Structure 1
Amino acid sequence: MKRSVLLIAAMLVIAAAAGFAWLGGAERLGIVKPGPRASAAAPSQAAAGPVPVPVEITSVRVEPVSDEVEALGTLMADESVAIAPEIAGRLMKLGFREGDRVKAGQMLVELDTAILTQELKQAQVDRGLARDTFERANSLVQRGAGTRVALEQAEAQLAAAEVRVALAQARLEKATIAAPIDGIVGLRSVSVGTYLTPGQTVVTLTKLDPIKVDFRVPELLLQDVAVGQKIRVRVDAFPDRVFEGAVYAIDPVVDVNGRAIRLRARIPNPDLLLKPGLFARVSIVTDIRESAVVVPESAVVPDGSAKAVYVVEGDKARLVRVRLGKRLPGRAEIAEGLKPGQRIVTTGQMRLRDGSPIEAVQPQAKAGETVTQ
């Protein structure tokens, strides 16, 4: 057994020697091409230096950035008045058409005045009689033929007659209702000939320019809201438009149920597009930074738990940590770390390290876009 193992080992050694000899001869005869050998004259890749990384570059920009608080609200009329009579009477005339714009002082409703006119005439006659009685009593007292008591009674009767005349005059004037404000009349709920009772609404008069918006914000934002702050309003009826206004009142009492603050703002509405009752999405501008530093969102990269931007210095990229401000659509505000005008890398950061050499390339525009540097 031992001799067999030795014999096999000797045969393997002889076969290996024969193989090496054959490869050497084949290489000399050209049957097998020689493998690559290092040349002392060829420069190494390390001696040539690292290859620059192609990147896209842009400049840090300055633009206004505002902080906003979002809220939901409801549009309300600036003023809304229910036109209703103060006295009972039959409706004789309407001085408007539904949906009309009317001016303050324009006649809107007129009641039947036949009885009221006669009541005023009766009161005027009674006043004339009371005045004559007073003058006679006064004359008698001056001549010493009358008493002071009779004169005082006549004077009281005259005063009462004057009051009845004024009351009848007021009732007659109440039979005509004029518009108290400029506005638009709505849809009337009665017709000519209807007998109206005191307080029965005939129509509603609404002032729409400006229009108000009521909204609420959480009590935690109490220190961020103030009278005079600008707001932006969007409504579903006009999704592509933004309406601007300003806060003019803040409720001094916090709602204990929702722990919210109620605010009210006015919005110019010259074309009367906005209507009371519309649902509104409100943005309150709490702060405006006119010279905020802004970069494309793609320029910001993670650096551990922080954020960073590659700043171009000569032909190299230097990693600079930054503190972010407000996030904007496709952009980010840089609160600390960058200055306006600095050149930064926006594409290609995945292959970069701090100090990596770079080569600027032209950004590729998407369909329908124009490339700007």
Structure 2
Amino acid sequence: MASPFLARAVVLAGVLGLAACKGEPAAGPSAPSAIPVTMGVVQPVAWSDTVQALGTAHARESVTLTAKISEIVDQVHFESGQHVQAGQPLVTLRVDAQEAALGEAESTLAEAEQQYRRLQGLADQQLVARSTLDAQRALRDVAAARVRQMRSDIRDRHVRAPFSGVLGIRQISPGALLTPNSVIATLDDLSRVYVDFQVPEAALSAMVPGARVTAGTTAWPGEQFTGEVEVVDARVDPTTRAVTVRANFDNPEGKLRPGMLLDVRLFRPERQALVVPEIAVVQVGRESFVYRVDADGKVEQAAVRAGVRRDGLAEIVEGLKAGDRIVVDGTGKLRPGVVVAEVEARPARTPAKDDAPGEDAVVPARN
């Protein structure tokens, strides 16, 4: 039988052992590692956004050539596509009867003028009444008016170019009966062209005469034509709430043709703006946000309002300020509160001469 002292020793050892076991730290899961992402620091940059629209080209001067009278075509003095000068003869109609009538009218005028001068001499000597002289003056004036009428009738039978330009396809031939409804050809002055396009009234403040405009067309891929705003329509369409703008383009090579559809871009004045890469902006329904990184490396959702987007960049109108560090690439694996780490600094670009303003909007984050 064990002694009381030995029993107390066993109980004390058990209590100490249990206390030692309770004092040991419990093994738990390891802390989560930081998620690798690409980050950038938002900085204000020079930014010039654009107003984009579709426009239609018109010749500086354009006309469909017709005749004022009905007559047989005697001669055609041009070929399709020919460049002509102002006043150059294009078509001659038959004028035999009119020239004969003009000769008769000129003879009548000459006789009336001679008779008037004879009577004027007699009237000065008071050998004839003044009323006789006045009647002869009237006959002379009528004969002169008849001559002017016949000459005008003959001019109507000579169709001339009203201005310098390029003729379209010829629609008539010698011997054809030409009427006022018959089309001879089209004539366009292509040295300069107008491009009419519509912009929303919200962009009206940027539509000032002299503003720079560029345009492109599928007919000349990759080529940009430069012009300037010439006039803004005085009225806004109450249905579409859009205003028509006319831009003026030099066209020395004649590449732009009337009726062409052009993609027009008008550059607004340069200003300072916060611009981020478009991939940094997360769109969920109608809401947009970016992941902003705090000093501890944790991310939070910052609701933003994006403005103009261009060339892979987006202007941030609300929600960010200069100096904010955001996640640029890798947003698909994030949620608020997680820790991120920069894995690869994006090299800072030196904008080339042809870069659009705002290309270097986000400065790479430095750890």
Identical aligned residues as a percent: 30
Distance 1:332 1:232, change over 3 A: same
Is contact 2:52-2:263 (8 Å) kept?
no
Shift of 1:98: 0.1
Q: What letter is aligned with 1:209? A: S
Task: State the 1:148 CA deviation.
Answer: 0.6
8 Å contact from structure 2 (residues 36, 341) kept in 1:
yes
Tell me the SS of whatever aligns to 1:327.
Answer: strand
CA distance in 2, matches of 1:125, 1:272: 51
**CA-CA distance at 1:259 after TM superposition:** 6.2
Secondary structure of the corresponding residue to residue 159 of structure 1: helix
Q: Encode CA deviations 1:23-55: one digit per residue, 9 max, x unaligned.
A: xxxxxxxxxxxxxx979xxxxx88xxx966644
The yes-or-no answer on 1:294 pairing with 2:275 is yes
Query: Judging changes above 3 Å, is the alpha-carbon distance between structure 1 residues 326 and 196 closer, same or farther for their aligned structure 2 residues?
Result: closer
Pair 1:108–1:306, CA change in 2 (3 A): closer
Please tell me the residue identity of whatever aligns with 1:291.
Q
1:202 pairs, out of 174, 184, 191, with 184
Answer with 111-120 or 98-107: which moved more.
111-120
Question: Which is higher, the Rg of structure 1 or of structure 2?
Answer: 1
Distance 1:324 1:292 in 2: 11
Is 2:103 aligned against 1:121? yes
1:172 to 128, 150, 154: 154
Taking structure 1 as reference, are residues 126 and 38 closer, same or farther at Cα in structure 2, changes over 3 Å only? same
Corresponding residue for 1:338? 321
Distance change in 2, residues 1:221/1:198 (3 Å): same
| 3-state SS, counterpart of residue 48 of structure 2 | strand
2:260 matches 1:278? yes
Alignment of 1:1-373 (within 5 A): 54-58=36-40, 60=42, 62-70=45-53, 72-198=54-180, 200-217=182-199, 221=202, 223=204, 226-228=207-209, 229-252=211-234, 261-285=243-267, 287-300=268-281, 307-310=289-292, 321=302, 323-335=305-317, 337-339=320-322, 345-348=327-330, 350=333, 358-362=341-345
Answer yes or no: is the 8 Å Cα contact 2:34–2:339 preserved in 1: yes
Where does structure 1 lack aligned partners over 5 or more consecutive residues? 1-36, 40-44, 365-371
Residue 274 of structure 1 and its aligned partner are, at CA, apart by 2.7
Residues 343, 255 of structure 1: alpha-carbon distance in 2 compared, 3 angstrom cutoff:
closer
C-alpha distance in structure 2 between counterparts of 1:253 and 1:352, whole Å? 50
Cα distance in structure 1, aligned partners of 2:241 and 2:277: 38
User: Which shifted more, 136-145 or 221-230?
Assistant: 221-230
Q: Distance in 1 between matches of 2:123 and 2:251?
A: 69
Matched-pair contact (CA < 8 Å) for 2:299–2:340: no
Label 1:172 to 1:289 Cα distance change in 2 as closer, same or farther (>3 A): same
SS in 2 for 1:333: strand
Q: 1:66 to 1:139 in 2, by over 3 A?
A: same
1:232 Cα offset (Å): 4.4
| Conserved? CA contact 2:281–2:288, under 8 Å | no
Distance 1:359 1:203 in 2: 69
Gaps of 5+ in 2: 1-22, 348-362
The 3-state SS of whatever aligns with 2:270 is strand
> Which amino acid in 2 is paired with 1:153?
A
Preserved CA contact (<8 Å) 1:56 1:361: yes
- Number of aligned residues: 320
Task: List per-residue Cα deviations over 1:280-315 (Å, max 9, x = no partner).
Answer: 444455x34343332222344689x773454686x9
State the secondary structure of the residue aligned to 2:253: coil
Contact 1:87 1:171 in 2 (8 A): no
Task: Give 3-state SS (helix, strand or coil) of 1:135's partner.
Answer: helix
Shift of 1:160: 1.3
